[in-house]
């Protein structure tokens, strides 16, 4: 019986370790090879505190957890600016350094580790036997699993997945990437540290082999095996892998050492087979039991097309979308100059090496006005958007948003101040659903902030309902409600453009910068998108649009700037600009 409890204890510890690693790898996309080493910090801390300081079981667990969390947060700081490949190298190096320190420090017991930890006890009850330890471990694991579930399957987890998909796009909808990365590293490390400490107490030993790089790789394998980013996947992965080793030993009667070798071969082979057949892991990220059951029935003929159905398009206006640019005037008679400038740009300048992309630009985006930005390819339009939204810092000049100097601020801070943008190359979160993509843009969601997520569940679920309603509303605006449940990566390019507009609307920002919203959208929907944008000023929005489709821009823009070679060379209504033979030549090459 004790033997089974022993295996159950190992399973629990590795399940929690791989769940916490899944938060990092599967959700936030931060691949760490130092997870076992971080658990080791917890293990060694608990051992040292118990042996040298005689600290009790529970306080030493708490301190060990905090120390591991601090180490994780510390590790996250250099990770902030690294690509995944570099992060893997950094964490690998950190793991090697930590294990080497443990191996070579006499105070930490060297290669033998810290031995002779006291028997843990709680409320006077000894936890010496595996069966006694099991119940305590089960409670702690359950709490960890609940915390994991709350973090992963929530608005918070949604932001983490957005980080994994596209950091810049996440910042563009106002998410503070820095805070999330530090938090998720600290949280995952805290759980790992706690498990490391319990592992040390369980074996009454903290040694380098328990926490070396091989163990980290084993944890990564468990996560990949079960399914990265899947809520339950790592549980399955960890349980299968941990249970397999005693089963091998027992049934094959080959002794622990041989079994360990054979186990490695089997894991390797299983991983290769799995990657070929089911690269998303045993339980993939978007696995649904209901869908799996439904799939057992025969697929209906033409089901793919039915899934690809588009909402009935709006009544196409009287205008012929195929007609050459014949700008129908927007609201005639707006006195542009009388409107208050919301965004003012003065002397903005940016050079990349020898190329001056933006060369002393002055412009104003006025309240409830749709401003068009027209010009040849490479004129600096997108660079101007990047400067306005803080994606790149300017070399000179100032940008003011509602009177506040925002020059040099970060993209997420600018988005939170009320200026959001869309991207020419769309940048949706491809492995998230259409609905999630738009819901993410909902600003000030309490569920995205750790204390509120854990402390105010009612407010969180209320906000989640509101976010869903808003997202559906924005999606119906662009006619894609029936695709809400699809993965964004499964949409066509034009549909992705429409979702990007919905996402931008859902930010609730007052100033919206649209970078080629219409290119790639089919002619019938061009009118629809134009209508959507045209309706924005009435909702109090200030809009700036970069667009080559002059037919659409003619319907949209109250005022236009013409940009060439990094400078604004003309402004006025689109008709006025297009009456200038020089601009026509610059743009149409006529």
Partner 1 sequence: MGTQGSDGIVLQLERVRAGYGGRPVVFDVSLQLRRGSVVALLGHNGAGKSTTLRAIVGLARVHAGAVLLDGRDIANRPCEENIRDGLVYLPQERAVFGELSVRDNLLLGAQVVKDRQAREQRLERVLTLFPVLRERWAQPARTLSGGQQRMLSVGIALMAGAKVLLLDEPSLGLAPAVAQSLMNTIRELVKSEGLSVLIVEQNLRLALDLAQYLYILRMGQLVLEGPPQELEEQHQLWQLF
CA 68/CA 44 separation, integer angstroms = 10
CB of 570 to partner 1, least distance (A): 15
Q: Which is nearer to partner 1, 297 or 589 (CB)?
A: 589
Q: Which is nearer to partner 1, 1 or 305 (CB)?
A: 305
- Cα torsion 289, 290, 291, 294: sign: positive
Q: Which is nearer to partner 1, 320 or 362 (CB)?
A: 320
CA–CA distances in Å: residue 467 to residues 171, 416, 470, 472, 505? 18, 16, 5, 9, 12
SS3 category, 361: strand
CB of 92 to partner 1, least distance (A): 24
Q: Which is nearer to partner 1, 448 or 515 (CB)?
A: 515
CA 410/CA 391 separation, integer angstroms = 7
Angle at 251 between CA 247 and CA 256, to 5 degrees: 65
CB of 548 to partner 1, least distance (A): 5
Q: Is 74 buried (19+), middle (13-18) or exposed (0-12) by CB count in 10 A?
A: middle
CB of 493 to partner 1, least distance (A): 5
Neighbour tally for 209: CB within 10 Å:
14
Q: Which is nearer to partner 1, 464 or 516 (CB)?
A: 516
CB of 303 to partner 1, least distance (A): 8
The residues binding partner 1 (CB under 8 A) are 302, 304-310, 313, 316, 320-325, 352-353, 355, 375-383, 424-425, 491-495, 497-498, 515-516, 519-525, 548-550, 587-590
Q: Which is nearer to partner 1, 321 or 457 (CB)?
A: 321
CB of 460 to partner 1, least distance (A): 34
CB of 470 to partner 1, least distance (A): 23
Neighbour tally for 250: CB within 10 Å:
11
Q: Which is nearer to partner 1, 42 or 380 (CB)?
A: 380
- Cα torsion 388, 393, 394, 399: sign: positive
SS3 category, 27: helix
CB of 477 to partner 1, least distance (A): 15
Q: Which tokens in the block code for residue 586?
A: 């610059």
Q: Which is nearer to partner 1, 110 or 494 (CB)?
A: 494
Q: Is 139 buried (19+), middle (13-18) or exposed (0-12) by CB count in 10 A?
A: exposed
CB of 377 to partner 1, least distance (A): 3
CA 419/CA 399 separation, integer angstroms = 12
CA–CA distances in Å: residue 188 to residues 157, 219, 427, 530? 13, 13, 28, 46
CB of 520 to partner 1, least distance (A): 5
CA 350/CA 386 separation, integer angstroms = 10
CA 535/CA 586 separation, integer angstroms = 31
CA 533/CA 543 separation, integer angstroms = 8
Q: Which is nearer to partner 1, 83 or 377 (CB)?
A: 377
CB of 146 to partner 1, least distance (A): 35
CB of 305 to partner 1, least distance (A): 4
Q: Which is nearer to partner 1, 510 or 515 (CB)?
A: 515
CA 393/CA 350 separation, integer angstroms = 8
Strand partners, 206: 114
Q: Which is nearer to partner 1, 374 or 505 (CB)?
A: 374
Taking phi over 0 as left and psi of -120 to 50 as alpha, with beta for the rest, 332 belongs to beta
CB of 526 to partner 1, least distance (A): 8
Q: Which tokens in the block code for residue 409?
A: 């601020």
- Please enumerate in sequence order all residues whose Cβ is within 8 A of that of 62, keeping only pairs 6 or more positions apart, or say none: none
Q: Which is nearer to partner 1, 421 or 497 (CB)?
A: 497
Neighbour tally for 307: CB within 10 Å:
12
Neighbour tally for 553: CB within 10 Å:
24
Judge contact between 412 and 177, C-beta under 8 A: yes
Neighbour tally for 62: CB within 10 Å:
14
Element (H, E) at 51: helix 35-52
Report which of 571, 547, 561, 538 is spatially closest to residue 422, judged by C-alpha positions: 547
CB of 508 to partner 1, least distance (A): 26
CA 196/CA 49 separation, integer angstroms = 14
Q: Which is nearer to partner 1, 353 or 540 (CB)?
A: 353
Query: How many residues make up the chain in this entry?
Result: 590
């Amino acid at each position: 019986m004790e033997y089974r409890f022993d295996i159950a204890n190992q399973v629990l510890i590795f399940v929690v370790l791989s769940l916490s690693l899944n938060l990092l790898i599967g959700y936030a996309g931060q691949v760490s090879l130092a997870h076992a080493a971080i658990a080791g910090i917890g293990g060694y801390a608990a051992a040292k505190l118990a042996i040298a300081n005689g600290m009790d079981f529970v306080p030493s667990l708490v301190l060990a957890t905090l120390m591991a969390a601090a180490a994780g947060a510390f590790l996250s700081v250099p990770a902030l600016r690294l690509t995944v490949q570099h992060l893997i190298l950094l964490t690998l190096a950190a793991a090697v350094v930590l294990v080497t320190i443990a191996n070579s420090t006499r105070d930490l017991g060297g290669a033998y580790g810290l031995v002779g930890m006291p028997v843990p006890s709680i409320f006077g009850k000894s936890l010496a036997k595996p069966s006694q330890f099991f119940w305590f471990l089960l409670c702690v694991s359950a709490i960890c699993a609940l915390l994991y579930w709350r973090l992963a399957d929530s608005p918070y987890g949604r932001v983490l997945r957005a980080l994994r998909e596209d950091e810049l796009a996440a910042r563009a909808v106002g998410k503070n990437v820095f805070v999330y990365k530090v938090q998720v590293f600290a949280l995952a490390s805290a759980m790992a540290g706690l498990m490391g400490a319990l592992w040390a107490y369980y074996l009454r030993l903290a040694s380098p082999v328990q926490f070396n790089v091989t163990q980290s790789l084993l944890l990564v394998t468990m996560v990949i095996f079960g399914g990265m980013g899947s809520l339950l996947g790592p549980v399955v992965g960890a349980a299968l892998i941990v249970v397999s080793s005693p089963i091998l030993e027992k049934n094959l009667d080959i002794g622990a050492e041989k079994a360990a070798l054979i186990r490695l071969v089997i894991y390797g082979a299983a991983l290769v087979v799995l990657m070929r057949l089911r690269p998303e892991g045993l339980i993939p990220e978007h696995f649904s039991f209901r869908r799996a059951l439904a799939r057992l029935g025969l697929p209906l003929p033409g089901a793919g097309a039915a899934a690809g159905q588009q909402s009935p398009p709006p009544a196409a206006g009287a205008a012929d979308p195929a007609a050459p640019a014949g700008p129908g005037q927007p609201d005639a008679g707006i006195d542009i100059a009388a409107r208050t400038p919301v965004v003012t740009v003065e002397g903005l300048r940016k050079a990349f090496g020898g190329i001056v992309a933006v060369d002393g630009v002055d412009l104003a985006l006025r309240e409830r006005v749709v401003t068009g930005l027209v010009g040849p390819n490479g004129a600096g339009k997108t660079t101007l958007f990047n400067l306005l939204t803080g994606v790149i810092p300017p070399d000179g000049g100032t940008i003011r948003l509602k009177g506040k100097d925002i020059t040099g601020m970060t993209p997420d801070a600018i988005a939170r101040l009320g200026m959001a943008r869309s991207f020419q190359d769309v940048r949706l979160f491809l492995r998230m659903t259409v609905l999630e993509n738009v819901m993410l843009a909902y600003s000030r969601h309490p569920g995205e902030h750790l204390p509120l997520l854990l402390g105010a569940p009612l407010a969180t679920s209320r906000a989640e309902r509101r976010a869903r309603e808003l997202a559906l509303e924005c999606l119906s605006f662009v006619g894609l409600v029936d695709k809400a449940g699809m993965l964004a990566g499964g949409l066509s390019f034009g549909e992705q453009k429409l979702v990007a507009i919905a996402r931008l609307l859902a930010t609730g920002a007052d100033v919206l910068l649209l970078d080629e919203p219409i290119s790639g959208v089919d002619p019938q929907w061009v009118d629809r998108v134009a209508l959507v944008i045209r309706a924005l000023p009435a909702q109090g929005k200030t809009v700036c649009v970069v667009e080559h489709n002059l037919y659409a821009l003619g319907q949209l823009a109250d005022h236009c700037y013409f940009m060439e070679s990094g400078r604004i060379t003309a402004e006025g209504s689109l008709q006025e600009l297009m009456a200038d033979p020089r601009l026509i030549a610059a743009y149409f090459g006529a």
